[in-house]
Amino acid sequence: MMKFTRYVATVMSLMLALSLMAIEPQDAVNKFAGDKALRHALVGVAVYDIDSMRTIAGNHIDLAVITASTMKTVTSTAALEYLGADFKFKTPVYLLGDTLQGRLAGNLLVVGTGDPTIGSKYFKSNPSIVSEIVEALKRCGITRIDGRIVVDESLYRFPYYNIHWDVGDLAWDYGAAVHPFNYRDNVTNVSFKIDKWGRFSDAKLTPSATGVQIINRTTMSTSHSDFDMALEYGTPAVVLTGEIKPGSHEFTVTNPLPQAAFIDELMRALASAGIAVGNDDDVLSDVPHPQRMPLVTHESPVLPEIITSLLDRSDNMFAHALLRAVAVNSKGWKGGDVDRAGIQQVTRMLDHYGCDTDALFMRDGSGLARAGRASARMLVQMLAAVAEKRYGDVRLCDLMPKAGKRIGNLLPNTHLRSDIVLKSGSMTDVQCFVGYYPANKPRYAFAVLVNNYNCTRADLKDKIDRLLINLFDDK
């Protein structure tokens, strides 16, 4: 009996040891792709061994599928390649006109250069452009501006949102457009009240944006809220739609006029500093070429800081701003379709690294466009190509977030929570991840792109956790 007990214990120990061993990479991918919840899904998976420069496992690796925000890794890489690790957005401010005895007979001119970080809540330690302007005017001894505060947005043309973004996304904070001059993340809070009779009151935008209307097209419901918003750029206005319950309400929405919010804030700061603004539109009407004197230049954080922030938060506006920065800073930029020009630069970079760009259908810099697609092969080829490339003293993998709790419930209980860096991407019926293992010295690049799955998102994330554990947990 004792021998039999020891035999059973030995067999069970052996079975346990075998169960803990990661299965072969292709078997792990096959098991994942063959899940019944993915029977009708588009599943693109690629696992690339960087040392041997070959794909060691995959499923539909050449299928072009919706990537969602994993496209941000492509844009971020292109920005590092073309702009460099020391790049900063620089926004110049000029005195336009003559100055005499503390008086500017002209306008204060701010020239937009596409910086997405001006006034951003995510870079609070960066200097405030409003404070920089006020202090610079004080140093110049200027106590009055006869003309206006003018923001030059001629860097690229309207529309400032990407034409491939869904119209339903444009009003929400994640769908904020990228202007030549951006301010406070190009969002604002809309607040209002609905009383028990359905009357709409106390509507306001905070911070304020002169010229932006709030249009109420909601109907009252005593039992539930089914609320949505739309953005009318021609008006411009935030349009409230759907059914909503009585009470006080507040939502974060896109600000279609970020320059108006900036001017309003600057005007108040100037008034507090005792600097008057005359708002005279005709002050320079008879001056053919008014003198332009530099006042101050506002600088953004360095590019790696911007990329770290946007990848961590999956910020669509920041990512798309980098695509446009790649375009306008490229050799021979002469205007035109800024998004197309940026995508052309990205494609050149990928071609240079030998990536399969036939499977790239890039439409924007963030992946918010549902028409944007790429293959798992192309994504791992790019990740592998730059795995150890340094931009200044950082690599792309250094800027990507650790896996942590960003996928499912299984991975955080393993060493992979800190040994994998990745970028996620999600939208309705889409869940994707791309990344590296190990985090500090990548040997493998992976891409998992799933469209149209028949389970909850939480269940799918657990399945992706299991896939990554099977692939990497014993390596």
- Give the distance, in angstroms, between the CA of residue 341 and the centroid of all CA atoms in the same chain: 19
Q: Is the pTM of this model over 0.85?
A: yes
- Kindly tell me the burial class for residue 28, based on how many C-beta atoms sit within 10 Å of its own C-beta (0-12, 13-18, 19 or more): buried
Q: 67 Cβ partners below 8 Å, 6+ apart?
A: 367, 372, 373, 374, 379, 425, 432, 449
CATH 3.30.70.20 fits 25-86+303-472, yes or no: no
Q: Is 81 helix (H, G, I), strand (E, B) or coil?
A: helix
Question: Helices (DSSP H) in 234-275: which residue ranges?
Answer: 258-272
Please state, in angstroms and as integers, the Cα–Cα distance from residue 118 to each residue in 121, 186, 310, 344, following that order.
Answer: 9, 10, 14, 27
The pLDDT mean for the chain works out to 92
Residue 419 in contact with residue 474, Cβ under 8 Å?
Answer: no
Tens of pLDDT, residues 331-341: 888 889 999 99
Residues 250-274 have pLDDT tens digits of 989 999 999 999 999 999 999 999 9
Backbone angles phi, psi at 146, to 5 degrees: -70, -35
**Digit-coded pLDDT (tens) for 268-321:** 999 999 999 998 888 887 777 788 999 999 999 999 999 999 999 999 999 999
Q: Taking residues 143-151, report their average pLDDT.
A: 96
For the segment(s) 90-157+260-299, the CATH number from 3.50.80.20, 1.10.10.10, 3.30.1240.10, 1.10.3720.10 is 3.50.80.20
| Residue 291: CB atoms within 10 Å | 13
H/E stretch holding 426 reads strand 421-427
pLDDT band at 356 (very low <50, low <70, confident <90, very high): very high
pLDDT > 90: percent of the chain: 76
Q: What kind and span of H or E run contains 90?
A: strand 90-100
For residue 22, pLDDT beyond 70: no
**Digit-coded pLDDT (tens) for 398-419:** 999 999 999 999 999 999 999 9
What integer pLDDT is reported at residue 13 of this predicted model? 38
Say how far apart CA 65 and CA 170 lie, in whole Å. 23
Q: Cβ neighbours of residue 429 under 8 Å, at least 6 residues apart?
A: 451, 452, 453
The 10s digit of each residue's pLDDT in 185-212 is: 999 998 989 888 888 889 898 888 888 8
Q: Is the pLDDT at 231 greater than 60, yes or no?
A: yes
- The single residue listed with the structure tokens 């946007």 is 310
Q: What is the pLDDT of residue 425?
A: 97
The domain limits of the chain are 25-86+303-472, 90-157+260-299, 167-254
